Amino acid sequence: MKVPPAIRTARPSDLHELLRLVGAYYRLDRIRFERRTIAGALGTLLRQPALGRVWVAQSRTRLVAYLVLTFNYDLEFGGLEGMITELYVEVRWRRFGLGRRLIDLARSFCHKSGIDTLELQVSRDNRQARAFYKSLGFREFDRVVMAIDAAPAMPAKRVVRS
């Protein structure tokens, strides 16, 4: 029988192991994985709890799942809300309740911190994750996610002919 992994808050020393899981999740969700950029952002998050929390599930010495929660301020949700930006469970550990335990932990953390709402994005075609979230009581909104680079686009160079 499999010994259930222990869930705990991630530490800065988990960075290397966590990057392996983040890479696996990004491949699955077709998100570009720029190791240096992600390592920098994740390292900052692990050292600065004001930005959010990372929880991991550990089986023996190996990390097998993680959840990233960050904070966002949105009037619609009464101010501070929790954003689940990443959740990944290794294939061999799926359907053992780890995803649910991680979400429960994030929910109770938010509740105790006075945060009323947890929000997340999920790809339309990720049916398994949508079924998972729905089974936990998440409601879907009919909205479209949009993003743009903060740096203004460079104007096209004019070709000067002599």
Ligand X SMILES: CC(C)(COP(=O)(O)OP(=O)(O)OC[C@H]1O[C@@H](n2cnc3c(N)ncnc32)[C@H](O)[C@@H]1OP(=O)(O)O)[C@@H](O)C(=O)NCCC(=O)NCCS
The three-class DSSP label of residue 22 is helix
Among 46, 69, 89, 106, binds ligand X (CB under 6 A): 89
By CB under 6 A, tell whether 4 contacts ligand X: no
Residue from 96, 105, 109, 119 touching ligand X (CB under 6 A): that is 96
Name the nearest CA neighbour of 61 among 16, 23, 29: 16
6 binds ligand X (CB under 6 A): no
Query: Binding to ligand X by residue 87, rule CB under 6 A?
Result: yes
Task: Check residue 100 for interaction with ligand X (CB under 6 A).
Answer: yes
**Binding residue for ligand X, selected from 22, 42, 98, 106, defined by CB under 6 A:** 98
State how far the Cα of 161 lies from the Cα of 159, in Å rounded to an integer.
Answer: 6
Q: Which residues bind ligand X (CB under 6 A)?
A: 25, 28, 87-89, 94-100, 120, 122, 126, 128-129, 131-132, 135
